[in-house]
Amino acid sequence: MTNIEFNKNEDAMKLAASQVKQRLAEIYEGGGKKAIEKQRERNKLTARERIKYLCDADKPFVEIGAFAGYEMYSEHGGCPAGGTVSGVGYVSGRQCVVVANDQTVKAGAWFPITGKKNLRMQEIAMENHLPIIYLVDSAGVYLPMQDEIFPDKEHFGRIFRNNAKMSAMGITQIAAVLGACVAGGAYLPIMSDETLMVQGNGSIFLAGPYLVKAAIGEDIDIETLGGATTHTAISGIADYKFDSEKECLDHVKKIMSKLGKPANAGFDRIASVAPKKKDNDIYGIISDGNTKPYNVVDIIECIADANSFDQFKEDYGKTIVCGYARVDGWAVGIIANQRLIVKNKKGEMQLGGVIYNDSADKAARFILNCNQKRFL
């Protein structure tokens, strides 16, 4: 090869790289600056900001499919990155797949290419047995193209089949509902192992307030219909609620930090910390003859490492307390009968120590989650 040919090839490659960077810069803007500002007004992060906050800063995040949807659907306003930001990164030291809806692109609606991209990310998780985290903020299927999205074998509906298959494979799935989660898309977080919601912004429902009004003539607001309190305290389909996105993402990090590793089952250990209360405080918490109510969380705080206990479904099935903790540094799941008399969100009184249907459901789900995390 002559110097002239070499220089010509080098110039062409540099030009191509420059063009790629320019196109990526356009893609990274998602639905544009106005749409991003609307996110800011609602105290919401963009999809890329969420991933940056969630993933470990000292380890790489490899974005996959940034050019999905490139120059497609121009008659509909475009679909940068397929309306989803996704890739493989590390959260609390654990390698995982992350899939985040980009709400700035048509309110996070699913185009046909969105379904293909998200299915591919699930396949990567299954092929490599990696946990998968969904950051949900989506208006559901893009209705003008719904006939091209849902029904076929490789279409949107296969995502739910994959949810079930990954569960059977023991692959942990975590869904953080940071915005709307509507219609068909509402199945995904509920089929995940754990669902976290942000109060005020996060919502899960199949039919919105207007459809409820049309169907039964009742006026209802989004929070009552499908907000965080409704789903963590009444329906029980969500597990945690938070006041802000960062609090929600911080808890995802905590969940990931306690996952068991395939090579050594659930035997995950870090440096131990002394419990918040002294072990002999148990004698003072439980009354003579165990005849009076007491808060079992106080007992747990005599056993578990300080500040390590995270309650699962704290506002649901209150006569049983479940949660993840560390005991002498070891990651564990804890199930305990609550001895207080409690009142649920429906206003019903429940006696401590009695297993009601909601508390039984909660404990069963928690045991399944411990199995998925290889605690058992």
| Domain boundaries of the chain, sorted by first residue | 31-257, 266-372
pLDDT reported for residue 17: 81
pLDDT reported for residue 346: 81
How far apart (Å, rounded) are the C-alpha atoms in residues 46 and 100? 9
Q: What is the mean pLDDT of each run of 10 residues along the chain (376 residues)?
A: 77 80 91 92 94 97 95 93 96 96 93 94 96 94 84 82 93 95 84 95 83 83 89 94 97 90 64 93 88 94 95 96 94 95 88 93 94 73
Side-by-side strand order, sheet with 330-337: 310-312, 320-327, 330-337
pLDDT reported for residue 127: 96
Helix axes 245-257, 47-54, angle to 10 degrees: 40
How far apart (Å, rounded) are the C-alpha atoms in residues 55 and 134? 13
pLDDT reported for residue 262: 58
Which residues, at least 6 apart from 147, have a Cβ–Cβ distance to it below 8 Å? none
Dihedral angle sign, alpha carbons of residues 261, 267, 270, 276: positive
pLDDT reported for residue 18: 83
> Topology of domain 31-257, per CATH?
2-enoyl-CoA Hydratase; Chain A, domain 1 (3.90.226)
- The one-letter amino acid code at 340 reads L
pLDDT reported for residue 147: 83
pLDDT reported for residue 284: 92
For the whole prediction, is pTM greater than 0.85?
A: yes
How far apart (Å, rounded) are the C-alpha atoms in residues 133 and 323? 20
The two domains 31-257 and 266-372 share their CATH topology (first three levels equal): yes
In angstroms, what CA-CA distances link 259 with 96, 165, 190, 299, 373? 11, 19, 20, 24, 5
pLDDT reported for residue 97: 98
- Eight-class DSSP state of 32: -
pLDDT reported for residue 266: 53
pLDDT reported for residue 143: 85
Question: In CATH, which superfamily holds the domain spanning 266-372?
Answer: 2-enoyl-CoA Hydratase; Chain A, domain 1 (3.90.226.10)
Closest by alpha carbon to 185, among 243, 232, 236, 226?
226
Query: Phi first, then psi: what are they for 324, rounded to 5°?
Result: -100, 145
